[in-house]
Amino acid sequence: MTTRTPRTKVAIIGSGNIGTDLMIKVIRGSETLEVAAMIGIDPESDGLARARRFGVATSAAGVEGLVKLDEFDDIAFVFDATSARAHRHHHDTLVPLGKRMVDLTPAAIGPYVVPPVNLGAHLDSVNVNMVTCGGQATVPMVAAVSAVTPVAYAEIVASISSRSAGPGTRANIDEFTETTARALEELGGARRGKAIIVLNPAEPPLIMRDTVHCLVPDCDPEQVKASVHGMVERVREYVPGYRLKQEVQFLPVPAGAPAAKLAGLAEGGWQISVFLEVEGAAHYLPAYAGNLDIMTAAALRTAEYLAAGRVAA
């Protein structure tokens, strides 16, 4: 008879769209994690109501309420699905109490983690940052290109339905662009990165779409295509709705052209363009909210990996 390893207990701070979707993902799909607590600040929120129906301990008193729960001592990891500003307070409160954090805000206190790029790089970190939804979608593509040829400049445009942008997302627009741009450089390998987010008000709502432009000095198109397609499959392992909208595009950039000057390519080069869309799994919100799905799926994959390392140790 085999003995089942106890699941690692986690808490989620933030009972909005992202936190609730993450809770449902853990409850329905994780064999290694167990949601021990859901924390919010609105006692009437749908997320807290759903948590109670699942038998999960709840508090509407924020992080201070989490600390007072009977379940607190057994919790190993805390997901933060609030805002960059709030996360700093949560980090300062929980890390000294021995809790490790998976940060779904763009606060970026801890190192960046994008699962197909550097999942195993920060196993000992007390706080890991999931960048942004745009970062989770586009950093893998920049990394795929930079694995073949140096990327002088990477620019991404993340377009999401305005319906899927909650208060936390709207409050963090500046942090979104700054954090995503840094991740394009630090993880993607671009010498310089830039990020733009578009909240699309179209009705009916459109699913998340991302455009990635990389300026490179030279490239082998077939090698780049193979690297990009391989990375897409790695992301699809945990986000099945992640896909290319069309084949990778290559455009020559003449010496002296504005794009060449922007990237510092004195002799010109190539613009490589990747067009993506991300359809959500509809665990909580409709399928158009792929921006939420890729964040929560990446956070779950990261926490499961960290928990596996914790159990093995």
Residue 3 lies in a domain: no
- pLDDT reported for residue 170: 83
Q: Helix, strand, or coil here: 4?
A: coil
- pLDDT reported for residue 313: 40
Tokens 């928990």, located at residue = 307
Residue 301 lies in a domain: yes
Residues 187 and 224 in one domain: yes
Residues 66 and 209 in one domain: no
Residues 23 and 168 in one domain: no
- CA torsion through residues 172, 175, 179, 182, sign: positive
Q: What is the pLDDT tens value at each position of the chain, 313 positions in all?
A: 445 678 999 999 999 999 999 999 999 999 999 999 999 999 999 999 999 999 999 999 999 999 999 999 999 999 999 999 999 999 999 999 999 999 999 999 999 999 999 999 999 999 999 999 999 999 999 999 999 999 999 999 999 999 988 777 787 888 899 999 999 999 999 999 999 999 999 999 999 999 999 999 999 999 999 999 999 999 999 999 999 999 999 999 999 999 999 999 999 999 999 999 999 999 998 999 999 999 999 999 999 999 997 644 4
- Please give the residue range of the domain that contains residue 264: 133-287
Residues 299 and 253 in one domain: no
Q: Helix, strand, or coil here: 155?
A: strand
CATH of the domain at 88: 3.40.50.720
Secondary element (H or E) of residue 228: helix 221-236
Residue 189 lies in a domain: yes
Q: Which of 77, 79, 2, 3 is nearest to 39 (CA)?
A: 79
Q: Which amino acid appears at position 42 of this protein? A: D
Residues 116 and 206 in one domain: no
Residues 82 and 126 in one domain: yes
Residue 173 lies in a domain: yes
Residues 31 and 49 in one domain: yes
200 carries a ligand binding annotation: no
Residues 73 and 198 in one domain: no
Q: Helix, strand, or coil here: 286?
A: coil
Burial class (CB in 10 A: 0-12, 13-18, 19+), 132: buried
- pLDDT reported for residue 310: 60
17 carries a ligand binding annotation: yes
Q: Which of 277, 33, 29, 43 is nearest to 160 (CA)?
A: 277
CATH of the domain at 194: 3.30.360.10
Residues 26 and 75 in one domain: yes
Residue 100 lies in a domain: yes
Residues 13 and 109 in one domain: yes
Q: Which of 57, 76, 74 is nearest to 65 (CA)?
A: 57
174 Cβ contact partners less than 8 Å away, ≥ 6 residues apart: none
Residues 272 and 138 in one domain: yes
Residues 117 and 250 in one domain: no
Say whether the peptide bond before residue 204 is cis (omega within 30 degrees of 0): yes
Total domains in the fold of the chain: 2
118 carries a ligand binding annotation: no
- CA torsion through residues 288, 294, 297, 300, sign: negative
pLDDT tens profile 33-80: 999 999 999 999 999 999 999 999 999 999 999 999 999 999 999 999
The alpha carbon of residue 313 and the mean position of all alpha carbons in its chain are separated, in whole angstroms, by: 26
Residue 204 lies in a domain: yes
167 carries a ligand binding annotation: yes
Q: Which of 25, 81, 291 is nearest to 165 (CA)?
A: 291
28 carries a ligand binding annotation: no
> pTM for the complete prediction?
0.95
Residue 269 lies in a domain: yes
Distance CA 269, CA 267 (A): 7
Among 26, 41, 133, 239, which one carries the catalytic annotation? Answer: 133
Active site residue 133: yes
189 carries a ligand binding annotation: no
Q: Which long-range contacts (CB under 8 A, 24 or more apart) does 86-92 make?
A: 89/63, 90/13, 90/63, 91/127
Residue 1 lies in a domain: no
Q: Which of 213, 211, 108, 93 is nearest to 158 (CA)?
A: 211
120 carries a ligand binding annotation: no
The alpha carbon of residue 55 and the mean position of all alpha carbons in its chain are separated, in whole angstroms, by: 27
